Amino acid sequence: MTGTTAEPLLRASGVRKRFGGLVAVDGVDLHVDRGEIVGLIGPNGSGKSTMLGCVSRDLPLDGGSIEFEGRSLDRLRASRAARRGIGRTFQNVRVFPELTVRENALLARDWTTVPALGLLRGPEAATRERVAELLETTEMTRLARTPAGNLSGGQKRLLELVMALVARPRLVLLDEAASGVNPTLVQKLRQYVLTMREQERVAFLVVEHNVDFIFGLADRIVVMETGTVLAEGTPAEIRENQEVVDAYLGA
């Protein structure tokens, strides 16, 4: 993929995050290259969502540092991180149920910088085009006028993916994107992620419990356990790692 000497897109070093007396993330090193799909797996409570929150800057760090495109993200608020090119979805779906699919997606425009088109036709027209294009890519166009509250769990996850992509991020963080999604839609979700990587070289950091989904999607897997990195490797390497099998995959 990328050359070995190239600076990674994202580099997290020694990241620490505490909630009161609990150390949820305890010195995690993690990197994501441009256009790379990295899976983040591990038991419940191992710190995966917290780690995504640290990367997106929704949570302030208690230690360590995060660089994105070679620049420090320390001290940046989440909205600015988004403008720097990081989009995310949440473990619990966050859409406005009474607004339509298109309206929800357009709301994500507040984060956007679509400079070239924006200058010519105004940000709204550019965002509308972007949203239309993403609804097309995810085969959601026919649902554009449907209130988001009427969507299935899987369709809401897809809408969240669209919302995360509106701002043309270079990195998207997906938290349990395939949970509550039926098997057919899981396959499509996988395809859309691969398409966005292919077309726009978007990188993804994906938290997921669906082992078939994540092992079939990720270039590389990072395994967390109690706030630390237990193992890292290709899906094939991770499947054969006895520690990982014992801690997580075995049961």
Binding site for ligand ADP (CB under 6 A): 19, 22, 24, 42, 44-50
For residue 236, how far is the Cα from the chain centroid? 22
Decide which of ligand ADP, Mg ion, none touches 44; Cβ closer than 5 to 8 Å per partner kind: ligand ADP
Decide which of Mg ion, ligand ADP, none touches 35; Cβ closer than 5 to 8 Å per partner kind: none
**b or e along 155-182 (b: 16 or more beta carbons within 10 Å of the residue's beta carbon)?**
bbbbbbbbbbbbbbbbbbbbbbbbbebe
For residue 104, how far is the Cα from the chain centroid? 18
Is residue 227 within 8 A of residue 64, CB to CB? The reply is no
Helix axes 183-200, 115-137, angle to 10 degrees: 150
The smaller minimum CB distance to Mg ion, of residues 40 and 217, is found at: 40
Decide which of Mg ion, ligand ADP, none touches 14; Cβ closer than 5 to 8 Å per partner kind: none
The smaller minimum CB distance to ligand ADP, of residues 143 and 214, is found at: 214
State in angstroms the smallest separation of the CB of 250 from ligand ADP: 17
The smaller minimum CB distance to Mg ion, of residues 25 and 143, is found at: 25
In one-letter notation, the amino acid at residue 119 is L
State in angstroms the smallest separation of the CB of 148 from ligand ADP: 24
The smaller minimum CB distance to ligand ADP, of residues 22 and 245, is found at: 22
